[in-house]
Amino acid sequence: MLQIPNALIKSPSKSSLHRSGKAFLRSLAAALNLKVGEFDLRSNQGGDAVMGEVTLHADFIYVQIGSAGLSAGGVPRILYRTCNGRRDYCGDQNRYVNLDTLVGQGGQAAFLKTLDRLVSEKRRDAIVNGAAKTAISQPLALAI
């Protein structure tokens, strides 16, 4: 299952957010069966006034942990959304989950199931739209 370092849950410092956030997102990529080269893992330290964020960006999914996503208790929230490739930085609708809800296996399983469903829907849409574009761009072969 997912590796959630304790330092990430208990009001992380800037350095622990980035170190532990990368470890968590690597374990998430593995759980989603993403291979090296199928995703980017970025860390933006930000300036003195912010903690920054750590991002997992694949072709159909964008997941981010950062200070903008802190819950009222200081526990990081995870922003996730579908996207259209790794150059899509806006993506679709933002969704959030509190990191502390993923400590148990039930919460992790539900989160992974949600991500899997979203990615499957996005892939299916890409295939359908790609097939539609191909069909439109290809001339019809008429048998006379």
Confidence of residue 135 (pLDDT cuts 50, 70, 90): very low
pLDDT above 70: residue 11: no
2-6, 57-61, 95-99 — which is least confidently predicted?
2-6
Q: Which residues have C-beta within 8 Å of that of residue 124, sequence separation ≥ 6? A: none
Decide: 99 and 76 in contact? Cβ < 8 Å: yes
Q: What is the mean pLDDT of the chain?
A: 82
Domain chopping of the chain, boundaries: 6-136
pLDDT above 80: residue 56: yes
Smallest CA-to-CA distance from 111 within 80, 67, 89 is with: 80
Q: Which contiguous run of DSSP H or E holds residue 31?
A: helix 14-31
How far is the C-alpha of 11 from the C-alpha of 90, rounded, in Å?
27
Place of tokens 């359908």: 128
How far is the C-alpha of 90 from the C-alpha of 95, rounded, in Å?
13
Confidence of residue 142 (pLDDT cuts 50, 70, 90): very low
Q: Please tell me the predicted confidence (pLDDT) of residue 58.
A: 94
